[in-house]
């Protein structure tokens, strides 16, 4: 006989701080580190970046964050190289680059 896990009631978060602690995407989806999947490395050119937050919100692995000096940075422990950020950046501020292993 299988034992089902208890159902946890879901309350819609009202603020970013209501979401669970790391690791999670801004959308609230829990993420795992899949850096070993990466075949190429996305790089953000902050001189081109318009701070629209699109990449930050859409990265499925919550790998993009904003540094203290207001630059968008990619966490190489989390980025799996899926390319969503490159495709979604309307300002072509993210490009593939070769990764030095
Ligand atoms: S999607 Fe492009 S322009 Fe927008 S925050 Fe990300 S890097 Fe900057
Ligand atoms: S390629 Fe971009 S969208 Fe995909 S995991 Fe890496 S940072 Fe996130």
Which domains, and CATH codes, for the chain?
Answer: 39-101 (3.30.70.20)
Q: How many other C-beta atoms can be found within 10 angstroms of the C-beta atom of residue 78?
A: 22
> Residue 42 forms beta bridges with which residues?
96
Residues 54-75 pLDDT 10s: 999 899 888 898 999 999 999 9
Residues 20-51 pLDDT 10s: 555 556 666 666 778 888 999 999 999 999 99
The minimum-distance atom of ligand 1 relative to the CA of 48 is 3
DSSP 30: B
Using the mean position of ligand 1's atoms as its centre, give its distance from the Cα of residue 26 in Å: 15
Nearest CA, atom 8, ligand 1 = 49
63 in ligand 2 pocket by Cβ < 6 Å?
A: yes
**Can you list the alpha helix ranges (DSSP code H) found in the chain?**
54-58, 84-88
DSSP 24: B
Write down the pTM of the prediction.
0.74
93 in ligand 2 pocket by Cβ < 6 Å?
A: no
């Amino acid at each position: 006989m299988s034992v089902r896990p208890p159902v946890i009631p879901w309350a819609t978060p009202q603020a970013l701080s209501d979401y669970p602690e790391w690791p999670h995407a801004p959308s609230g989806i829990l993420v795992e580190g899949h850096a070993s999947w990466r075949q190429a490395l996305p790089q953000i050119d902050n001189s081109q970046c318009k701070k629209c937050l699109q990449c930050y919100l859409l990265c499925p692995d919550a790998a993009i964050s904003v540094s203290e000096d207001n630059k968008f940075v990619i966490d190489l422990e989390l980025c799996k190289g899926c390319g969503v950020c490159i495709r979604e950046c309307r300002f072509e501020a993210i490009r593939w680059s070769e990764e030095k292993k």
